[in-house]
């Protein structure tokens, strides 16, 4: 059984195409249902975000399945195959794990380190689990990717710092005021930018939003939209006294708030801190207003500078993050190889056990004269003997440095001990592996306890 | 004996440094645990010294400083637990470390003095030292406020913005710490004066006789009381919050430190028990 990934992302396709192959249009559940009919892979997970549409499957014949998956995507989204094919990318084997780990860590995102992808992978896995489409292979990949994504974010600065204007403004407000839910926001202007910012602020738990605009009707319209109140233009100074956060975005050609009026406002406020975000172009607030001690005045360029700095910092962290992912993938590969040798280990153990049982059987008449205690001891000694003999070869087999070596070892053992043809892994063998991992103390990660479910 | 807690404070200092640099929650828990351990060990040491001396070991500059360190550690741990904010620890613990080192160097067991055996005196020393702990906290919080304030004003959010709580929280903590400190200092001074009036007419101890407003220790403490009174007044009445309050509490605490170490060790004629 091999893993295969087929997908489209912002790296390979334009927004236009990405919109057309968005699985969320018809629903991921629906996609999984169709997938189960044809090409019917053993396991499947569909991941969809606004920047990517990916299908992860486990199958017997990757090459054939890859073609089938391409056809499936084109049919499901009603996009001609010839149009879709050049934008598809595919990974197999351990590269699927690498890709998923990178995606979970936010390394493959349009905005490096963005946090949403994490929840999106979880949602994709949850939807698939409800349909019972991921089995033990994808199960392990997904749960590992959550852990890896979390660790990479925690140990690098990959997800830190605001990378959008609204978010930058809100994170600044948090640095000044801490909690925002008792803060009063004043939006000056009712144009597009003002509206965008107001809507973004509304999603934050702020106490109240007041909109002031030269045309009261437009202020009222925006206030209605964001659940705030409108203020007369003449009451602007009064509103400034009561606000904590001021966002200005008017289309005025000159500053609408002078440094003098800010000075008067600060006296009336008894110097309570005032955070002013001026996103108007040209600027709405006299830059000299920022000279007052407790006035924190940021204009659009300041915010943009912060954002690009944050982006650069995230970029710096990617090397560190990639290295971490590399280590995680190596670990994962070791685990996977140890899984590949499980049938041999099990067969070897069965063989030894069979010899032991046969010998004990043969000795039964001779042992008959012994006490029950002594018989139990013979049983115990032979069991320990077998266990100890198997310890080193099992550990060596599991720690094989690469797939070829592991295969050679397995082959040699099978021939030397005349083992039966190893069967593909199943639940029972999985359990045997866990018991064995416990007794031989190998460091390879044990598979997750979640019971594998196949479609 | 004061060097034993010193070692523990040093370990806590390392842990807080690690937490500040790495910002991992695990390092944070380790830091809190190590400081709590240090405070606990310090409590035992103070307890043993109490049994040895027969009264609370606050007599003499070294013992007073050690007690102050202990109070500050406890007060800081309390703020940390109640606000879930560990970033200030990296500034507090070095202060604990330096002061504990000072007290460990000049460590000696004072001779028992009958005039010191009074509950009023114990109350005086306790509340003044507790006030100092509050002022130390206010000073450190004030310094961190200024560091963050500068980053926000320069529009260069970086090291401190990533680690410190918001300006408003720091300002509120500063105000509260100064307020509590001021109350305890005032109470401590009143109790000290009461003790003195009770004692002075009929004592021959030269140190008690030397207690007057002109004694350096008493003069300097009154000066710090004035600074803190002004900070509290200015904050409420004329909006001297934030940066100005931070500078005032730094000024106040430098006066307190001056009083605790050089004045307490070398200059005072009244408080050198």
pTM equals: 0.67
On chain A, the residues whose CB falls within 8 A of the CB of B141 are none
Write b or e for each residue in B67-77: b if 16 or more Cβ atoms lie within 10 A of its Cβ, otherwise e: bbbbbbbbbbb
Mark whether A248 and A200 lie in a shared domain.
Answer: yes
Mark whether A45 and A143 lie in a shared domain.
Answer: yes
Which residues have a Cβ under 8 Å from the Cβ of B81 and sit 6 or more positions away? B32
In this prediction, residue B116 carries a pLDDT of 65
The tokens for B240 are 């001297």
Beta bridge partners of B29: none
Residue A82 host element (H or E):
helix A81-84
Domain contains A198: yes
pLDDT by position in tens, chain B (length 273) = 777 888 888 888 898 888 888 777 888 888 889 999 999 998 888 888 888 777 776 667 778 888 888 888 988 888 888 777 788 888 888 888 888 888 877 656 556 566 666 778 878 888 888 899 899 889 999 999 999 999 999 988 878 888 888 999 899 889 988 999 999 999 999 998 888 888 766 666 667 666 777 778 888 889 999 999 999 999 888 888 888 999 999 999 999 988 877 776 666 666 665
Query: Active-site residue among A50, A79, A221, A395?
Result: A50
Name which of A154, A175, A305 is nearest B161 (Cβ-Cβ): A175
Mark whether A115 and A180 lie in a shared domain.
Answer: no
Does A75 lie at the interface with B, CB-CB under 8 angstroms?
no
The domain boundary, picked from A137, A155, A173, lies at A155
Alpha-carbon gap: B153 to the closest alpha carbon of chain A (Å): 6
The tokens for A302 are 């300041």
Tell me if B155 and A175 make a contact (CB, 8 A cut-off). Answer: no
Domain contains A313: no
Strands A43-49 and A52-59: antiparallel
Phi, psi of A310 (to 5 degrees): -60, -40
In this prediction, residue B267 carries a pLDDT of 64
In this prediction, residue A434 carries a pLDDT of 39
Spatial separation of the C-alpha atoms in residues B69 and A423, rounded to whole Å: 69
In this prediction, residue A448 carries a pLDDT of 38
Mark whether A134 and A29 lie in a shared domain.
Answer: yes
Mark whether A108 and A178 lie in a shared domain.
Answer: no
Contact assessment for residue B223 and residue B256, using Cβ atoms and an 8 Å cutoff: no
Spatial separation of the C-alpha atoms in residues B194 and B191, rounded to whole Å: 5
Q: Helix, strand or coil for residue A201? A: helix
CATH code for the domain in which residue A62 is found: 3.30.460.30
The domain boundary, picked from A155, A183, A216, lies at A155
Distances (CA, A) of A453 to A129, A132, A434, A450: 9, 6, 18, 9
Complex ipTM, two decimals? 0.80
In this prediction, residue B85 carries a pLDDT of 79
Which residues have a Cβ under 8 Å from the Cβ of B37 and sit 6 or more positions away? B8, B12
Beta bridge partners of A350: none
Which residues in chain A show pLDDT less than 70? Answer: 421-455
Mark whether A396 and A424 lie in a shared domain.
Answer: yes
Contact assessment for residue A327 and residue A393, using Cβ atoms and an 8 Å cutoff: no
On chain B, the residues whose CB falls within 8 A of the CB of A155 are 24
* Residue A142 annotated among the catalytic residues of the structure: no
Domains identified in chain A, total number: 3
On chain B, the residues whose CB falls within 8 A of the CB of A178 are 165-166, 168-169
Residue of A nearest to B164 (CA): A175
Residue A45 host element (H or E):
strand A43-49
Residue found under tokens 């605790």? B260
Mark whether A233 and A267 lie in a shared domain.
Answer: yes
Closest-CA residue to B149 (of B13, B65, B242): B242
Domain contains A37: yes
On chain B, the residues whose CB falls within 8 A of the CB of A314 are none
Size of interface A-B (CB pairs under 8 A): 47
Mark whether A141 and A243 lie in a shared domain.
Answer: no
B52-B55-B59-B63 Cα dihedral, nearest 10 degrees: 50
Residue of A nearest to B156 (CA): A306
Does A296 lie at the interface with B, CB-CB under 8 angstroms?
yes
Does A302 lie at the interface with B, CB-CB under 8 angstroms?
yes
Per-residue pLDDT reduced to its tens digit, A166-197 = 888 888 999 999 888 889 999 999 888 888 88
Closest-CA residue to B126 (of B58, B47, B210): B58
Alpha-carbon gap: B166 to the closest alpha carbon of chain A (Å): 4
Domain contains A448: no
The domain boundary, picked from A251, A279, A306, lies at A306
Residue of B nearest to A270 (CA): B239
Per-residue pLDDT reduced to its tens digit, A296-338 = 999 888 988 888 888 888 888 888 899 999 999 988 888 777 7
Domain contains A136: yes
Tell me if A175 and B157 make a contact (CB, 8 A cut-off). Answer: yes
What is the span of the domain harbouring residue A132?
2-155
Does B155 lie at the interface with A, CB-CB under 8 angstroms?
yes
CATH code for the domain in which residue A275 is found: 3.40.50.720
- Interface subset of B 62-91, CB within 8 angstroms of A: none
Work out whether the CA dihedral B44, B48, B54, B55 comes out positive or negative.
Answer: negative
Question: For chain B, which residues make up each domain, given as ranges?
Answer: 1-111, 113-273
């Amino acid at each position: 059984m091999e893993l295969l990934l087929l997908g489209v992302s912002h790296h390979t396709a334009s927004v236009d195409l990405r919109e057309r192959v968005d699985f969320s249009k018809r629903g991921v559940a629906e996609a999984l249902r169709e997938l189960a009919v044809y090409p019917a892979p053993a396991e499947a997970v569909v991941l969809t975000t606004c920047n990517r549409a990916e299908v992860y499957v486990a199958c017997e014949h990757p090459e054939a399945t890859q073609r089938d998956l391409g056809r499936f995507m084109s049919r499901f989204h009603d996009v001609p195959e010839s149009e879709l094919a050049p934008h598809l990318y595919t990974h197999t084997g351990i590269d699927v794990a690498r890709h998923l780990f990178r995606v979970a860590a936010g390394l493959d995102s349009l905005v490096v380190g963005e946090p949403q992808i994490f929840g999106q992978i979880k949602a994709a896995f949850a939807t698939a689990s409800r349909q019972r489409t991921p089995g033990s292979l994808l199960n392990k990949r997904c749960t590992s990717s959550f852990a890896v994504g979390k660790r990479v974010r925690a140990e690098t600065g990959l997800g830190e710092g605001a990378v959008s204007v609204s978010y930058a403004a809100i994170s600044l407000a948090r640095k000044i005021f801490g909690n925002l839910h008792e803060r009063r926001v004043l939006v000056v202007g009712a144009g597009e930018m003002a509206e965008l910012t107001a809507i973004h602020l509304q999603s934050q738990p702020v106490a109240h939003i007041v909109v002031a605009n030269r045309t009261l009707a437009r202020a009222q319209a925006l206030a209605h939209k964001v659940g705030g109140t409108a203020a007369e233009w003449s009451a602007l100074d009064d509103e400034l006294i009561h606000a904590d956060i001021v966002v200005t975005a008017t289309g005025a050609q000159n500053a609408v708030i002078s440094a003098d009026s800010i000075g008067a406002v600060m006296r009336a406020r008894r110097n309570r801190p005032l955070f002013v975000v001026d996103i108007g172009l040209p600027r709405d607030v006299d830059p000299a207003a920022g000279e007052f001690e407790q006035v924190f005045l940021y204009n659009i360029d300041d915010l943009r500078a912060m954002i690009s700095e944050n982006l650069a910092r995230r970029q710096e962290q990617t090397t560190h993050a990639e290295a971490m992912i590399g280590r995680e993938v190596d670990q994962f590969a070791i685990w996977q190889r140890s899984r590949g040798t499980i049938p041999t280990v099990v067969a070897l153990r069965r063989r030894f056990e069979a010899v032991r049982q046969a010998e004990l059987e043969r000795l039964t008449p001779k042992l008959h004269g012994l006490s029950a205690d002594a018989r139990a001891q013979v049983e115990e000694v032979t069991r320990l003997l077998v266990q100890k003999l198997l310890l080193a070869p099992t550990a060596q087999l599991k720690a094989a440095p690469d797939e070829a070596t592991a295969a050679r070892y397995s082959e040699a053992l099978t021939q030397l001990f005349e083992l039966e043809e190893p069967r593909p892994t199943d639940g029972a063998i999985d359990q045997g592996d866990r018991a064995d991992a416990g007794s031989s103390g190998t460091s390879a990660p044990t598979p997750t306890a979640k019971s594998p479910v196949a479609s | 004996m004061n060097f034993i807690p010193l070692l523990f404070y040093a370990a806590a200092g390392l842990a807080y440094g690690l937490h500040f640099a790495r910002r991992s929650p695990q390092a944070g828990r380790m830091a809190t645990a190590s400081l709590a351990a240090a405070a606990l060990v310090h409590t035992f040491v103070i307890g043993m010294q109490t049994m040895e001396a027969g009264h609370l070991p606050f007599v003499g500059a070294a013992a007073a400083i050690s007690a102050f360190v202990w109070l500050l550690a406890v007060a800081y741990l309390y703020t940390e637990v109640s606000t879930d904010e560990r970033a200030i620890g990296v500034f507090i613990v070095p202060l604990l470390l330096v002061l504990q080192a000072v007290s460990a160097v000049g460590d000696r067991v004072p001779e028992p003095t009958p005039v010191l055996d009074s509950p009023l005196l114990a109350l005086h020393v306790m509340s003044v030292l507790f006030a100092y702990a509050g002022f130390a906290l206010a000073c450190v919080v004030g310094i961190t406020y200024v560091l963050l304030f500068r980053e926000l004003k320069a529009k260069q959010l970086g090291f401190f913005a990533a680690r410190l709580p918001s300006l408003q929280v720091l300002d509120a903590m500063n105000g509260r710490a100064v307020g509590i400190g001021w109350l305890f200092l005032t109470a401590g001074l009143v109790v000290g004066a009461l003790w003195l009036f009770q004692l002075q007419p009929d004592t021959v101890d030269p140190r008690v006789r030397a207690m007057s407003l002109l004694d350096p220790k008493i003069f300097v403490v009154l000066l710090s009381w004035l600074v803190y009174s002004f900070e509290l007044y200015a904050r409420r009445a004329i909006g001297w919050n934030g940066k100005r309050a931070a500078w005032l509490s730094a000024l106040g605490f430098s006066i307190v430190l001056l009083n605790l170490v050089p004045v307490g060790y070398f200059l005072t004629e009244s408080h050198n028990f």
